[in-house]
Amino acid sequence: MTLLQRRYVDPLLDLYRRTPGTTGHIRPADRRLAVSLASRGIPLQTVRDALLLAVARRTLRPDQAPPLPPIRSLHYILPILDELLVDPPHPDYFHYLHRRLASLAPALVSPIDHQFP
């Protein structure tokens, strides 16, 4: 693994591991996907936004909806990443989601607060 990949892969996997709703475990397939995302040039901020959007979609559901099982793999966010790459929302949307989640439960957003350079 190159230095660039380490600067990308390690922070990405740490962010995923700390994201609410995940198992908190990193699997070899998660590491391979992180290397692939680095190779594709996917910005870390886009991955962070995808994780935030995943948390929001899983959290902001009807009260009567059954609980969702934990996210077991980083692969969970691939469709969300594709969505963001094809049609990225205005950056203010992520600020809105962040504020909305913070108002419900600050613990939901504190792990994904990190902004990447």
What pLDDT sits at residue 113?
A: 62
Share of the chain above pLDDT 90, in %: 66
The span from the CA of 36 to the CA of 40, in Å, is 6
What pLDDT sits at residue 29?
A: 98
Q: Which ranges of the chain have pLDDT less than 70?
A: 1, 105-117
What pLDDT sits at residue 104?
A: 75
Q: What is the pTM of this model?
A: 0.86
The span from the CA of 58 to the CA of 68, in Å, is 7
pLDDT tens digits, 50-83: 999 999 999 889 989 999 999 999 999 999 999 9
Closest CA relative to residue 77, chosen from 16, 24, 5, 27 = 16
Total residues belonging to the chain: 117
CA dihedral 63, 67, 70, 75 (to 10 degrees): -70
CB 84 within 8 Å of CB 37: no
